[in-house]
A and B are shown apart, each in its own frame.
Chain A
Amino acid sequence: TTRSWDFIGLTQNRTLRLPTESDVIVGVLDTGIWPESESFSDSGMSPPPSKWKGKCQTGGTNFTCNNKLIGARYYNSENDPSEIKSPRDVEGHGTHTSSTAAGRPVGDASYFGLAEGIARGAVPEARIAMYKVCWLSGCWSADILAAFDDAIADGVDIISVSLGSDFPSQYFEDPIAIGSYHAMKKGILTSNSAGNGGPFPISVSNYAPWSLTVAASSIDRKFVSNVVLGNGNTYIGISINNFNMGNSVYPLIYGGQAVNVSAGSTELISSYCIDGSMNTEKIEGNLVLCNYGDGDETIYNAKGLGMIMSVDDNLQDVAFSFMFPVTIITTDDAREILAYIKSTSNPVAVIKVSDEWSDPLAPTVVSFSSRGPNPITPDILKPDLTAPGVDIIASWSPMASPTGYEEDKRSVNFNIISGTSMSCPHVTGAAAYVKSFHPNWSPAAIKSALMTTAIPMDPRKNEDAEFAYGSGHINPVQAVDPGLVYDASAQDYITFLCAQGYNTTTLRQVTGDNSTCNGIGLGKAWNLNYPSFALSVPDGGYATGSFYRTVTNVGPPNSTYNAIVFSPANLTISVVPSTLTFSQVGEKKSFVVKVNGGRLFQQPIMSACITWFDGKHSVRSPLVVYTT
Chain B
Amino acid sequence: QSYGEERKVYIVYMGGHTSEGVSSSSLSSHLGMLKKVLPSGVSATDKLVYNYGRSFKGFAARLTDDEVKKFSEMGEVVSVLPNTKLKLH
Contact = CB atoms under 8 A, between A and B. Distances in A.
Interface of A: 30-31, 75, 77-78, 91, 93, 134, 137-142, 144-146, 148-150, 152-153, 162-166, 172-173, 175-176, 178, 182-183, 185-186, 193-196, 205, 419-421, 424, 505-506, 508-513
A139 B88 contact: yes
B37 interface: no
A510 B85 contact: no
Interface string B49-89: 11011111110100000000000000110110111111111
Given A152-B55, A153-B55, A182-B56, A166 B50 contact: no
B13 to A, nearest CB: 6
13 contacts: A150-B55, A163-B86, A172-B13, A173-B81, A182-B16, A194-B89, A195-B89, A419-B89, A509-B16, A509-B76, A510-B16, A513-B16, A513-B18
B38 interface: no
A142 B86 contact: no
A186 B21 CA distance: 12
A163 B54 contact: no
B88 A163 contact: yes
B89 A193 contact: yes
B86 A173 contact: no
A182 B20 CA distance: 16
Given A175-B81, A513-B18, A196 B86 contact: no
B15 interface: yes
A148 B55 contact: yes
**8 shortest interchain CB distances as A-B pairs:** A512-B16, A153-B54, A509-B15, A152-B55, A138-B85, A193-B89, A142-B60, A421-B89
A467 to B, nearest CB: 17
A93 B17 CA distance: 33
Contact of A178 (B56, B84, B85): B56
A140 B9 contact: yes
Contacts of B56: 149, 178, 182
Given A137-B85, A420-B89, A150 B79 contact: no
B14 interface: yes
A139 B87 contact: yes
A331 B52 CA distance: 53
B11 interface: yes
B78 A509 contact: yes
A144 B86 contact: yes
Contacts of A194: 89
B24 interface: no
B19 interface: yes
Interface of B: 9-11, 13-19, 49-50, 52-58, 60, 75-76, 78-79, 81-89
A163 B85 contact: no
A510 B78 contact: yes
Contacts of A150: 54-55
Contacts, number: 126
Contacts of A91: 88
Q: Pick the most buried of B16, B53, B82: most chain A CB atoms within 10 A of its CB.
A: B16
Given A146-B60, A149-B52, A511-B15, A141 B88 contact: no
Contacts of B18: 512-513
A162 B89 contact: yes
A53 to B, nearest CB: 9
Contact of A164 (B10, B81, B86): B86
A165 B83 CA distance: 12
A100 B49 CA distance: 32
B1 to A, nearest CB: 18
Given A31-B88, A138-B86, A77 B54 contact: no
A138 B87 CA distance: 6
B11 A145 contact: yes
A139 B85 contact: yes
A182 B58 CA distance: 13
Contacts of A31: 88
A112 B18 CA distance: 54
B86 A172 contact: no
A11 to B, nearest CB: 27
B29 to A, nearest CB: 14
A397 B83 CA distance: 27
A145 B89 contact: no
B89 A149 contact: no
B85 A140 contact: yes
Q: Pick the most buried of B15, B53, B55, B87: most chain A CB atoms within 10 A of its CB.
A: B55
Contacts of B11: 141-142, 145, 175
Contacts of B53: 149
B89 A142 contact: no
A506 B78 contact: yes
Given A140-B83, A141-B11, A145-B60, A77 B49 contact: yes
Contacts of A176: 86
